[in-house]
Structure formats: structure tokens, C-alpha cells
């Protein structure tokens, strides 16, 4: 019985000392401690409309084969603390269109103003829907 109590005490102590200190990790959005004045979202020079316009101008429809009507994709990408686009994930029904959207987003030359949390730049994610109409 003494060995069982000693074992449970040692396990309890190891759990107490193995806790992670998360003071430096910013809270996720929507938590009560996340006040609007603590965060400034990432911004593209000229706004998201300018980003979408530049992306639309760079898409080459000739690279997308066998499509009529509308095709849609959703692009999710990260903006690092330097304002550069790092990771791009594109989902949609047409693989050629997905590859083209990924190529276009990665080729964007202007840097974003990174998201700020309490005055410090942080990694952020953006999701944008993209639709192309073939007539």
C-alpha cells in the first residue's frame, strides 16, 4: 500500500512540474481576454480589394483545361511576421485551377503589413474565395 501511495505521489509531482507556461502565446480570437485594441489584422497595400485585383490580373486562363462556366477555389495562406506569404493551401474541384491560384498567390510581390498583437507582429492566416467565369 505504501508503494502505491508513493507511486501516485511521484506521478502527481511529475504532472505538476510538466505543465507548459503559455504566457507568451497570444490567445486565439474570440476569447474574453482578446480585446479589439490588442489586435490589428494584417493589411495588404491598398486593401484586400487590391490584392484580389492583382491576383485576378495574374491568373492565366490558358493553363486551366477543359472548363466551362464558373469554377471556384478557396485559398488559405499564412502571412509571417515579415509580411511575406509563406504557406498556401488551395481547395477546389479543378486541380489546374488550384495550381494556378497557388502559383499566383506565391508570386505576389508586395509585402503585407503583418498582423499585430499587443504591438508585436505575429503569424496570421487569410482565407479568400476565388471564382473564375469561363464564357
The pTM of the full predicted model, rounded to 2 decimals, is 0.68
Q: Which domains does the chain have, with CATH numbers?
A: 41-134 (3.30.2420)
All cell numbers assigned to 110: 508586395
Query: Shortest CA distance to 128 belongs to which of 51, 36, 41?
Result: 51
Indicate the range of 27-31, 48-52, 54-58, 94-98 predicted with least confidence. 27-31
**pLDDT tens per residue, range 68-118:** 788 899 999 999 999 999 999 999 988 999 999 999 999 988 999 999 998
The residues, any chain, with a CB within 8 Å of residue 72's CB and separated by 6 or more, are: 92, 93, 129, 130, 131, 132
Amino acid at each position: 500500500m505504501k508503494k502505491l501511495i508513493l507511486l501516485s505521489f511521484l506521478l502527481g509531482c511529475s504532472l505538476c512540474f510538466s505543465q507548459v507556461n503559455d504566457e507568451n502565446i497570444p490567445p486565439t480570437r474570440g476569447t474574453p481576454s482578446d480585446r479589439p485594441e490588442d489586435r490589428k489584422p494584417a493589411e495588404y497595400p491598398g486593401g484586400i480589394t487590391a490584392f484580389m485585383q492583382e491576383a485576378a490580373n495574374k491568373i492565366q486562363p490558358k493553363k486551366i483545361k477543359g472548363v466551362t462556366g464558373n469554377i471556384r477555389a478557396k485559398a488559405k495562406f499564412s502571412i509571417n511576421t515579415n509580411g511575406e506569404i509563406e504557406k498556401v493551401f488551395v481547395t477546389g474541384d479543378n486541380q489546374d485551377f488550384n495550381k494556378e491560384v497557388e502559383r499566383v498567390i506565391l508570386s505576389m510581390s508586395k509585402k503585407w503589413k503583418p498582423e499585430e498583437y499587443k504591438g508585436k507582429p505575429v503569424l496570421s492566416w487569410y482565407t479568400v474565395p476565388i471564382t473564375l467565369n469561363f464564357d
